[in-house]
Structures are given as C-alpha cells and as structure tokens.
Structure 1
C-alpha cells in the first residue's frame, strides 16, 4: 500500500493546509470570515489604517496582539504630501500579494518546489474621472496588468498552470475583475 506523506514545502505547512481543506469540507460554516480595518484621517489626504482582529473559523481571532498599521496619502502633484502610497497603489500590492500567496499554497499542495517568484503590477487611471473634469471617465483603474517571473522544479506549462489556478482562486482578483457591492454608512458626530 502506497501512503503519500505530505510535508512542508515553500514555507507552507502542507499537512495543515490539507487538514484545513478537510475541515471546511466537513463543516462549510468554518469558511465564513469577516476582515476589518479601522481608518483615521491624519491631515489633508493623509490617513492611517489599523488592521488587527477578524472573525473566522467560527470565532474571533485572538492571535494578532499588535495591529498592522498602514498610512496612505497622495503625492504632492495630487495635493498630498507623499507620506505613503496612494490608496489605489494598495490595490496593486493587494493583487500581487494575493496571487503570490495563492501560488505558494497551490504549488505546495501539488508538490512543486518554487525557487523564485517575482511579479510586477501596473494600473492605468485617467484622473479626469476623479477630478470631475471628464465625468464620463471612470474613477478607478481602466486596466491592471500583472506579470510574473517564476522558477521552480516543474516544467513551464505546470508553472503557468499554477499561476492560472491562483488567479482563479484569488479573492482580490475576483473583487477587482468582478466588482462587489460596497455599502457606505455615515454617522455625523
């Protein structure tokens, strides 16, 4: 009898990954998550977000004892002070990070050792929409391009298929390519 032993690969705890998949298959409610961020205006176009807790696997997370803090600002040419990346640049980081994380998990689950992965993400925006100088222009990106450079212990076709699978399973890719409803509530103090 052949027994497949799964081990950690690419920094991914593969046994835990498969145990998680099995647990979610047995109890789909475990897959319901809610992520949260809190943002506070600093000055001008500068704001600061704090990300710490989330709800997932049917419980509130208690493992993050220190919040992750991210600033956002606009460059001086757009009336900011350039204290941090713009909010739309965070979207570029988010898609790169999501695709790369998925790639790491998928490659590990399929027994492929990765040697190097790099990506470049470019997004095009016509600011006429945001500025209101051409209201017919959309406010957001008109296009985003992601390019990968990858090497691993698999052939070219397999490495391409790993990235394609990561793209199909990426939450950030889904939101950017399909959109999602966003509800905005206001509490005036």
Structure 2
C-alpha cells in the first residue's frame, strides 16, 4: 500500500477507475438543513449525502455549523460570518485538491498554509448602488506549500491543477444555478 500525505494512493486510483467505468458513481449531492437562531444567526446541520444514487444517512446531523455577522455588520459575533465560511470552504477544497494531486505525483508534503481574503462592497448588498454586485468582489489566496522534495516548477504545476480542478473554486469562479423555492 502506498500512502503519501496520509492519502492511500492505490485506493484513490481505484476510486478514479471505478468512476471511469461507471460515471454515475462520481455523482454526489451534499445537503444541510438550517434553522434561524434570531438576528443574523443560523445553525445548520449536515444532511443526507447521496453518492452514485445511494443515500448515506449516517451524516444527518453529524456536524453542526453556525454563522453570524461581526458586530461591525450589526451581528452579535457569535460565529464565523457566511463570507468566512466561503473562504473556509475554498481553503478546505484547496487542501483536498493539493493533497490529492501531490500524492498522485509522488510529492510529499510537510505542510500547507493558506491565507485567504475576500472583498465585499456593502452598497450592493444594501441596494444602495445597483451597479455594485452584492457578492464578493475578489478572493485572494496565498498558498505556502512546504514540500522539500519538490521543485518550484512542480509546485507551480500543482497550483495550476488546483485552479483547474478545485470544485469550490470552480463554483465561485463560474456561474452556477441556485434555485430558491418557498416551502
């Protein structure tokens, strides 16, 4: 068994081969359920994970997340803000993509440090200026990868792969349908 960066490379390759043979296995649906806690606060819990048509109920309410806004944005600062969760999601996905692709390339990692920043112009959110989008204006990621056996070129290639394969980066960088229905 070949394990690199705590990733079982053979299992990863077997998983990729299974998805190549049966693309339906690569289809996944994540879910969360949320309840308002007053003010700007919400608590969400993980829901059913569906992968390859199979529903995994073991994740239902397994993890809980809360969000709020900082006091500067009139929140009560009891939890990370939704914008911080977006950055966390991107950092998490970058970590998965970096470790997976480093392992597949035989690059041993000693550490990964990601620093993320995002800008927002509240005029868009508040409807003050219709020409300003309400979403994040720009996200910046600084990646510091400690891989003593890798060259600078290998690490630059790894970052290029991250930018092309990170599911969360792709979601943020490209339009995605978001369908909201009133129950």
Task: Answer yes or no: same fold by TM over 0.5.
Answer: yes
Provide the aligned C-alpha RMSD in A. Answer: 1.3
Match of 1:135 in 2: 130
Aligned pairs, how many?
Answer: 182
Match of 1:145 in 2: 140
Match of 1:119 in 2: 114
Q: Tell me the TM-score normalized by structure 2.
A: 0.95
Equivalents in 2 of 1:77, 1:154: separation in Å?
A: 43
The correspondence for 1:165, drawn from 143, 161, 166, is 161
Runs of 4+ more than 3 Å apart:
62-66
The answer on whether the counterparts of 1:99 and 1:163 sit within 8 Å (CA) in structure 2 is: no
The structure with more radius of gyration? 1
Equivalents in 2 of 1:30, 1:55: separation in Å?
A: 10
Residues 46, 176 of structure 1: alpha-carbon distance in 2 compared, 3 angstrom cutoff? same
SS at match of 1:82: coil
Query: Once the 2 structures are TM-superposed, how far is the Cα of residue 62 of structure 1 from its aligned partner?
Result: 4.3
Equivalents in 1 of 2:53, 2:7: separation in Å?
A: 23
The answer on whether the counterparts of 2:47 and 2:57 sit within 8 Å (CA) in structure 1 is: no
Q: Tell me the TM-score normalized by structure 1.
A: 0.92
Residues 58, 79 of structure 1: alpha-carbon distance in 2 compared, 3 angstrom cutoff? same
Residue 31, structure 1, aligned to residue 63, structure 2 = no
Unaligned runs of 5+ in 1: 1-5
Query: Once the 2 structures are TM-superposed, how far is the Cα of residue 63 of structure 1 from its aligned partner?
Result: 4.4
Unaligned runs of 5+ in 2: none
